[in-house]
């Protein structure tokens, strides 16, 4: 837990911790609940020291029941609190699927009840967690009206999006990529800041083709872009940041400019968010496209535990490079 009033370098993990600390300091309605988040400080130590600072009524451990945790959070949100649930691993969010999709997502539609809650979901592979601790479940909820989904790729976005999510009056699923926790660092400004939900960002401007992506794959795309730059191929990297609602304007504008596009995500390919983006581009950018839309994603299997198999399973910069060469030569 670290909050400071000067510009400072933090990891992706520390940025999340800072956002929680600042929002809890500013609003007594904000509280945390989840498994092992109290004295233990969470599986990844994001809430270390929080219970000592804020007390066990604002940072408390729960039973191993994701459905019960989310149900309690929904009730608290409807009574005017702003709960933040930690799913120890995003994989376990399926245990609370009914509460999230049938209750939290629909309450405002049914009777105008705001449900201002955040569910933090540590997701993704690259840490050899195996098939039960590495899933990317965002597409399950992307199909559910009433939910907002965010997936930051940088420390700045991790902090700014979490602060926006906490202050939003809708249920927000906050997908934080475990692989980025201690691998991504950034200097953050001293002043309070927010990243708006619903706005993508061009992480790298380019002229030859667009890569539409999010989360850890943003860094894969940027790595590929640096290598392709030596070949004279100029990639534009669009970081969605928010998955729902999609920033359709930024996506369409980028592809309208470059006329060629790769949609990249870590989740398995079939029925993924990349399929929706591809359909959007086919509908709105067909006359601008000079080549087929290409999707790069994980194969349709569970995430392997074996490090060599997981290495094969996850999309890599070389996959983006090969697809970019194919599109440029089309």
The DSSP secondary-structure symbol of 96 reads G
Hey, CA dihedral for 267, 103, 164, 1, is it positive or negative? Answer: negative
Is 133 known to be catalytic?
Answer: yes
Q: Can you tell me the distance from the alpha carbon of 194 to that of 185, in angstroms, rounded to the nearest whole number?
A: 18
Catalytic residue among 133, 177, 219, 265: 133
Q: Can you tell me the distance from the alpha carbon of 93 to that of 87, in angstroms, rounded to the nearest whole number?
A: 7
Q: Can you tell me the distance from the alpha carbon of 77 to that of 84, in angstroms, rounded to the nearest whole number?
A: 10
Angle between helices 155-167 and 12-26 (to 10 degrees): 30
46's tokens: 């994001």
> What proportions of the chain, in percent to the nearest 5, are helix, strand and coil?
40, 20, 40
Q: Can you tell me the distance from the alpha carbon of 84 to that of 92, in angstroms, rounded to the nearest whole number?
A: 16
Active site residues: 133
């Amino acid at each position: 837990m670290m909050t400071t009033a000067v510009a400072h370098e933090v990891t992706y993990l520390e940025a999340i911790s800072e956002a929680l600390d600042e929002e809890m300091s500013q609003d007594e309605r904000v509280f945390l609940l989840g498994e092992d988040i109290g004295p233990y400080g969470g599986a990844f130590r994001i809430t270390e020291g929080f219970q000592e600072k804020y007390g066990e009524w604002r940072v408390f451990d729960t039973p191993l029941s994701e459905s019960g945790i989310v149900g309690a959070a929904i009730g608290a949100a409807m009574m005017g609190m702003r709960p933040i649930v930690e799913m120890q691993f995003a994989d376990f969010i399926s245990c609370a699927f009914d509460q999230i999709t049938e209750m939290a997502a629909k309450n405002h539609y049914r009777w105008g009840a705001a449900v201002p809650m955040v569910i933090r979901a540590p997701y993704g592979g690259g840490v050899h967690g195996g098939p039960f601790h590495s899933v990317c479940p965002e597409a399950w909820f992307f199909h559910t009206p009433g939910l907002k989904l965010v997936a930051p790729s940088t420390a700045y976005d991790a902090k700014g999006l979490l602060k926006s999510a906490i202050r939003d009056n809708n249920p927000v699923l906050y997908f934080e990529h475990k692989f980025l926790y201690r691998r991504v660092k950034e200097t953050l400004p001293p002043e309070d800041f927010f990243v708006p939900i619903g706005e993508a960002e061009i992480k790298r401007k380019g002229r030859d083709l667009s890569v539409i992506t999010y989360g850890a794959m943003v860094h894969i795309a940027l790595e590929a872009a640096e290598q392709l730059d030596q070949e004279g191929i100029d990639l534009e990297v669009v970081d969605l940041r928010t998955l729902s609602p999609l920033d359709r304007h930024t996506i369409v504008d980028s592809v309208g400019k470059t006329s060629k596009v790769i949609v990249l995500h870590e989740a398995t390919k079939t029925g993924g968010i990349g399929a929706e983006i591809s359909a959007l581009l086919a509908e709105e950018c067909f006359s601008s496209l000079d080549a087929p839309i290409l999707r790069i994603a994980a194969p349709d299997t569970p995430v392997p535990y074996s490090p060599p198999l997981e290495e094969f399973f996850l999309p890599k910069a070389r996959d983006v490079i090969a697809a970019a060469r194919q599109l440029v030569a089309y």
